[in-house]
Amino acid sequence: MTLFEPLFLLCVLALLVSLVRLVYLFARQQLARSLALRIAACIGVYLDALITVSVLSPARIYQQGEAQCFDDWCLAVDRVERDGGALRVSLNVISQAKRVTQRELGVAVNLTDEHGRV
């Protein structure tokens, strides 16, 4: 666990408390414009930070045979063979999940050559 995970959970908890307070103030017909603006500003700052880190973070490149794990299962490229004009890729999927079905939506494998070209 990194430092950012508990910080994220703390921010979510603070947001939930603020939203409950906002609903309470609206229920009592009190003007809560400043609270609503603070909540919107915090969400905006968080989204800006998320987008900035996503854009500026370098892509993680895995070598052939190196596993990329998602919770209890991992995916690794075993072999890449040229078959005419196409490439044939063999993947190794490893799951440590006992009785739970897991999947990762949007998994993609991008092959690059030794010069970094896709």
Tokens of 44: 């905006």
Q: Which of 53, 64, 65 is nearest to 112 (CA)?
A: 64
Annotated domain spans of the chain: 4-56, 60-118
Q: Residue 1: is its pLDDT beyond 70?
A: no
What predicted TM-score, i.e. pTM, was given to this entire model? 0.52
Q: Residue 101: is its pLDDT beyond 80?
A: no
Q: Residue 117: is its pLDDT beyond 80?
A: no
In whole angstroms, how far apart are CA 77 and each of 73, 80, 81? 14, 8, 11
Q: Residue 103: is its pLDDT beyond 80?
A: no
**Averaged pLDDT for residues 82-90:** 85
Q: How confident is the model over 13-62, as pLDDT tens digits?
A: 888 888 898 888 888 878 778 888 888 888 888 888 888 888 888 878 88
pLDDT band at 69 (very low <50, low <70, confident <90, very high): confident
- Confidence (pLDDT) at 19: 87
